[in-house]
Amino acid sequence: MTLARACRDEVEAGFAYPSGSEVRPRWVEPYRLVAYDRRWDLLAYDLDRDDWRGFRVDRMTEVSARTRRFRPRAARDAAASSRRHSEADRKF
DSSP H helices in the chain: 2-9, 78-90
Distance CA 21, CA 12 (A): 26
pLDDT of 91 > 90? The answer is no
Domain that holds residue 81: 2-90
Q: How far is CA 66 from CA 11, 37, 43, 87, in A?
A: 6, 29, 17, 31
- pTM for this predicted structure: 0.77
CATH number at residue 58: 2.30.30
Q: How many domains does the chain have?
A: 1
Average per-residue pLDDT in the chain?
85
- The model's pLDDT over 52-88, given as tens digits with 9 standing for 90+, comes to 999 999 999 999 998 889 888 886 665 555 555 555 5
Report residue 20: phi and psi, to 5°: 70, -125
